[in-house]
Structure 1
Amino acid sequence: MDIATPLGEWFNREGRDLPWRRPGFGAWGILVSEVMLQQTPVARVIPRLAEWLARWPTPADLASAPPGDAVRAWDRLGYPRRALRLHAAATAITEEHGGVVPRDLDALLALPGIGEYTARAVAAFAFGDRHPVVDTNVRRVLARAIAGQGEPGPPSTRRDLAAMESVLPENLDAARLTNAAVMELGAVICTARSPRCDACPISDVCRWRAAGYPPYKGTRATVQPRFEGSDRHVRGLIMAELRASEIPVTATEIARVWADDAQRDRALQSLIADGLAEPTQDGFTLPA
């Protein structure tokens, strides 16, 4: 099944104008954008990405700053461990690669905090190399169009990469375009809850549509628990206090953010274990 050709034509006409897709947007910017975009909406990432790259335009610039500065600049993007991972990756790029983001996939995978998705995205989108790039949106499109099922089921790196590999053209430019187009289709057309099949450029070959949209009966991916009242919520409240202060936040001040002592202490200890908070004589701070 050739979905690459119609998807590429559609993407060239309809693809969103996003900063990281523009000519001249370098490998470091693409690496930062890909980390920020994990589990965070595009609209929230764009202004934070611009601020980040204005402050730290190269890996060496970020590596020279304290990790706490990266966490503070991350602000409310969520999952602040990503800021520490970016700082660690910038340090490794500076020390091991002369401050230049490596092109080789294995070298990208060897960077601290850089996983399969991010490494392949940088190799494909920054350098134009032919690698399958798979995120949640891609998995959904492939499940519907190729496998004929409404949901992709639990992720499997081996299976998911093989599925995307099977639709990638051999031509490097076309492969890069197809990676971007499949991802874009899942983000704006083939969405999880309200797919717009009438606007889909591959609806005529979609096996799920041809089968009459059968309900998915396979194993489902684990659903993340609700945020409000969760340990993640309490961690976020504590992080907001730490980011807002240039001096240690006292235990008394942290106690005010959440009434449940056991949950608050559990959240605080998890932040310390993750390297996002450090105890001092006077209280707690972001990592130095």
Structure 2
Amino acid sequence: MTSTQIDAGAVLAWGLPRMRDLPWRNERDPWRILVAEVMLQQTQAERVIPKWLAFLDAFPTPRECAVAPLGDVLRLWQGLGYPRRARNLQATAAVVVEHHDGLVPDELEGLLALPGVGPYTARAVLAFAFERDVAVVDTNIARILARTAGERLTPKAAQARADAAVPLGDGWAWNQVIMDLGAALCRPTPTCNECPLAASCAWSRAGYPDPDPAIGSAGVSAKQARFEGSARQARGKVLKALNNGARPAADFDRHIVSSLLADRLIEQSGATISLPT
């Protein structure tokens, strides 16, 4: 299979009239964009919307988030899962206040230095808040990159291919639209007959040979482990149970309690545990 350049014009023509109506797409405030991007990690947009609105109502700027008890941040986060994201977001807010005068950095190095902010989130803030011509690579975009290239990609190769596709001056729209394309059509089981890239996609042109190049390619998420009965579910139940105050540690599985203490998501005083104050 021979890799070809991604046809940006075809993707924009397909996607601009179909762009999903998501509330953060009307925003350019970097704090609000950062909160959205952290919440959207491994979480569907529909679940994020009400949580994002409630969180920003409570913490409209990094300063409010930085000085709040971590327990209050975790209460607003409940229902999204992966609560370490909330702890890291508050730590980021504190760094932004202390070292950046309360302003989210507008360059890649400064963003990557923030707690819990990786390459995707940093570039997403640059693209969506500051409208820079940088490429983001989430799992939806990563599938497109690998399939159109016709091969599994390393992280470096995936980012280079994404960077080369960004049309000058259209970084904001491009990243939104190609993300929508991956979410709508270039899914784990793709709908290629409607895809604007089908004619130039190396995997499509080759007749979809096994293995799918997206499987195992950089940035493509593997299927999540079952949630029901998992440690993630048990941890969430403990945090929810502590919403209204301290409880005896003996009420809960000691291994789950130990893991939450290790992650600094709860506190222990004697025989009781509580959300951090």
Q: Which residue of 2 aligns with 1:198?
A: 193
Structure 1: segments with no counterpart, 5+ residues: 255-263
Q: In structure 1, how many angstroms separate the alpha carbons of the residues matched to 2:126 and 2:212?
A: 35
Report the Cα distance in structure 2 between the residues aligned to 1:286 and 1:104, rounded to whole angstroms. 34
Q: Which residue of the other structure, out of 7, 11, 15, is the alignment partner of 2:11?
A: 7
Among 184, 191, 203, the residue aligned to 1:188: 184
Residues in 1 aligned to 2:273 and 2:156: alpha-carbon distance in whole angstroms: 42
1:100 partnered with 2:103: yes
2:199 aligned counterpart, secondary structure: coil
Matches within 5 A, 1:62-81: 62-81=65-84
User: Which residue matches 1:211?
Assistant: 206
Question: 1:201/1:47 Cα in 2 relative to 1: closer, same or farther (>3 Å)?
Answer: same
1:189–1:199 Cα contact (<8 Å) kept: yes
Equivalent residues, number: 268
Change (3 A) 1:269 1:95: same
- Cross-structure match for 2:229: 229
Structure 2 residue 188 is matched with structure 1 residue 163? no
3-state SS of paired residue (1:270): helix
In structure 2, the partner of 1:28 is: 31
* One-letter amino acid matched to 2:203: W
Q: Distance in 2 between matches of 1:14 and 1:182?
A: 11
SS of the residue corresponding to residue 13 of structure 2 reads helix
Q: Is the 8 A contact 1:276 1:286 kept in 2?
A: yes
Deviation of 1:198 (Å): 2.5
Shift in Å at residue 223 of structure 1? 4.8
- Counterparts of 1:24-173 in structure 2, within 5 Å, are 24-145=27-148, 147-148=149-150, 152=152, 156-169=154-167, 171=168, 173=169
SS at match of 2:211: coil
- Does the Cα contact within 8 Å between 1:248 and 1:282 map onto a contact in 2? no
C-alpha distance in 2, partners of 1:215/1:125?
35
Identity %: 43
C-alpha displacement at 1:2, in angstroms?
Answer: 4.1
What TM-score do the two structures reach when normalised by structure 2? Answer: 0.90
- Give the drift of 1:87: 0.4
Q: Is the 8 A contact 1:132 1:161 kept in 2?
A: yes
> Could you say which residue in structure 2 is the equivalent of 1:260?
none
Deviation, structure 1 residue 174: 1.8
Hey, what's the Cα distance between the residues in 1 that align with 2:111 and 2:187?
30
The answer (yes or no) to whether the contact 1:19–1:25 under 8 Å persists in 2 is: no
Structure possessing the higher relative contact order (Cα contacts under 8 Å, 6 or more residues apart): 2
Task: Give me the whole-angstrom Cα distance separating, in 2, the residues matched to 1:215 and 1:88.
Answer: 44
Q: Kindly report the root-mean-square deviation, in angstroms, between the aligned alpha carbons of the 2 structures.
A: 1.8
Shift of 1:160: 2.0
Take 1:98 and 1:20, find their aligned partners in 2: how far apart are those partners? Answer: 23
Which amino acid is the alignment partner of residue 166 of structure 2? L
CA contact (8 A) 2:28 2:128 kept: no
Question: Secondary structure of 1:213's partner?
Answer: coil
Instruction: Give the counterpart letter for 1:137 in structure 2.
Output: N
**Counterpart residue identity of residue 235, structure 2:** R
